[in-house]
RNA sequence: GUGGGCGUAGUCAAGUGGUUAAGACACAGGGUUGUGGCUCCUGCAUGCGUGGGUUCAAAUCCCAUCGUCCACC
């Protein structure tokens, strides 16, 4: 408790570890943010452009989600962070009173590869919207995230590609470390916004250690593991997680960036991860796939043409309570936005409830058994 | 009845003598992991209304026939 009070005075976001699983590294905790407490492990829906695509904030709230993600790079380009500040901050602008985590644009350094140039100073981007040139530096990113007013601000990093050779990854992570220090120095709103550091290091154990030692040394309110889920085999990602999590302190939240398939969420939790985000549930929803307790359902498949049952007989979401597979299929085939709305709603609900189940299983010391049961049903193994 | 046009995949069609018949939509699968995505990838006519013929070679030329549309009686 003493530690908690000390932390609260120091950081806008703090973490309370409530329980550790008796067999695995899974842990149950609470993330205290200026916009509410978040039960962990947690899955955070992604709303890149200040909107979780096809889903209204009140729906997300209704599912029990307390925190969503948004993106610095996108909001800086459009509509501009000054405009959002003028609107009263991102929470007010998008009508979301829960917590918000903003990604820094570090992932866009990776995903917009051909459109950017990296230097010690920062990254020069060519806007994917209109081709205009922009320079993002750690200081600029802090200015933007401060203007947005997110609860958790991710540091500006480089998410290195996979595969990447050792020398590249080492240089990259050391530059990312220097950028992190600059982020910390440029961040002046520490009592309202928490800056999280990002561990890089690719698939190299010693580099993961080097990265972790540095970022942990800066005593930040939370740490994330970046540079994973960038195309490497899942087994390799789990292998990295096996050791990477151990390099992070127990009293701070650990966030695995960009991971969201049901199996990876379980594997991440098992290795001690507290926070996840991913576009997967909303993206595959828009492309016609649902996550259900018995596996994924590609709604466009002909076998659902006359299937008047809900997506998931065990699901109590708005979509499953009111609509059939046949209807959703028809909406999808007819290019009606309704299919994106219903499937996105369902998928987010599914993952959020799945995380709820994971949390309960940790509390009751039956995480491993729960994982086994879930996999047997979901993947048929 | 006479004259003319047209018949190529489920649909709309390119192709007018020369290797395995464009393309689009539809249809059928698959992908998607800190969102450059109502998207991307793959498959889908052993056959060109039908039957003959000419030719080394025919969706393409000729004859017949069926269907269809238009014009005129």
Query: What's the CA–C1' distance between A339 and B11, in Å?
Result: 25
Query: What's the CA–C1' distance between A104 and B48, in Å?
Result: 58
Give the separation between CA A169 and CA A162, rounded to whole angstroms: 10
What's the token pair of residue A343?
């499937």
Query: What's the CA–C1' distance between A15 and B4, in Å?
Result: 86
Give the separation between CA A262 and CA A376, rounded to whole angstroms: 12
Q: Give me the pLDDT at residue A305, please.
A: 96
Which chain B positions have some atom within 7 A of a protein CB? 26-40
Q: Give me the pLDDT at residue A115, please.
A: 87
Return the ∠ at Cα A170 (arms to A211 and A212), rounded to 5°: 5
DSSP sequence for A65-78 = --EEEEEHHHHHHT
Nearest CA to A138 out of A179, A193, A104, A102 is that of: A179
Query: What's the CA–C1' distance between A29 and B71, in Å?
Result: 85
Give the separation between CA A340 and CA A328, rounded to whole angstroms: 9
Q: Say which nucleotide is closest to residue A237, CA to C1' distance.
A: B33
Omega into A79 within 30° of 0, i.e. cis?
A: yes
Q: Give me the pLDDT at residue A1, please.
A: 47
Q: Give me the pLDDT at residue A3, please.
A: 52
Q: ipTM of the predicted structure? A: 0.91
Q: Say which nucleotide is closest to residue A155, CA to C1' distance.
A: B34
Query: What's the CA–C1' distance between A146 and B29, in Å?
Result: 47
Walking along chain A (381 residues) 10 residues at a time, the average pLDDT comes out as: 53 97 97 98 98 97 97 96 97 97 93 91 93 95 97 97 95 97 96 97 98 98 97 96 98 98 98 98 98 97 97 96 97 96 98 98 98 94 58
Q: Quick one: which residue's CA is nearest to B26's C1'? A: A333
Q: Say which nucleotide is closest to residue A281, CA to C1' distance.
A: B33
Q: Say which nucleotide is closest to residue A280, CA to C1' distance.
A: B33
Catalytic residues of A: 103, 277
Query: What's the CA–C1' distance between A330 and B49, in Å?
Result: 35
Q: Say which nucleotide is closest to residue A282, CA to C1' distance.
A: B35
Q: Give me the pLDDT at residue A244, please.
A: 98
């Amino acid at each position: 408790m003493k530690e908690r009070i000390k932390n609260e005075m120091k950081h806008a976001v703090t973490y309370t570890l409530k329980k550790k699983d008796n067999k695995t590294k899974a842990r149950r905790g609470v993330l205290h943010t200026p916009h509410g407490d978040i039960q962990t492990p947690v899955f955070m829906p992604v709303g890149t452009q200040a909107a979780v695509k096809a889903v209204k904030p009140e729906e997300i709230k209704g599912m029990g989600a307390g925190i969503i993600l948004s993106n610095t790079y996108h909001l800086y380009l459009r509509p501009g962070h000054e405009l959002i500040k003028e609107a009263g901050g991102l929470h007010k602008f998008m009508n979301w009173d829960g917590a918000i985590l903003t990604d820094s644009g570090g992932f866009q350094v990776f995903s917009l590869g051909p459109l950017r140039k990296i230097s010690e100073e920062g990254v020069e981007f060519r806007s994917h919207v209109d081709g205009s040139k922009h320079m993002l530096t750690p200081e600029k990113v802090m200015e933007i995230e401060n203007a947005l007013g997110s609860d958790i601000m991710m540091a500006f990093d480089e998410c290195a590609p996979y595969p990447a050779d050792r020398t590249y990854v080492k240089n990259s992570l050391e530059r990312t470390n220097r950028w992190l220090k600059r982020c910390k120095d440029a961040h002046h709103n520490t009592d309202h916004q928490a800056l999280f550091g990002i561990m890089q290091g690719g698939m190299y154990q010693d580099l993961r250690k080097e990265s972790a030692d540095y970022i942990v040394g800066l005593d930040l309110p939370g740490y994330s593991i970046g540079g994973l889920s960038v195309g490497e085999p899942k087994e390799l990602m789990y292998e990295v997680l096996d050791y990477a999590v151990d390099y992070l302190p127990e009293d701070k939240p650990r966030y695995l960036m960009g991971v969201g398939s049901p199996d990876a969420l379980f594997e991440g939790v098992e290795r001690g991860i507290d926070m996840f985000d991913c576009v997967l549930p909303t993206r595959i929803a828009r492309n016609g796939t649902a996550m259900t307790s018995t596996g994924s359902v590609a709604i466009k498949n002909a076998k659902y043409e006359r299937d008047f049952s809900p997506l998931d007989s065990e699901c109590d979401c708005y979509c499953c309570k009111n609509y059939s597979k046949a209807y959703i299929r028809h909406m999808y085939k007819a290019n009606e936005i309704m299919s994106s709305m219903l499937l996105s709603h369902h998928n987010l609900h599914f993952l959020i409830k799945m995380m709820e189940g994971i949390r309960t299983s940790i509390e009751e010391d039956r995480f491993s058994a729960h994982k086994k049961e879930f996999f047997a049903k979901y993947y048929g193994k």
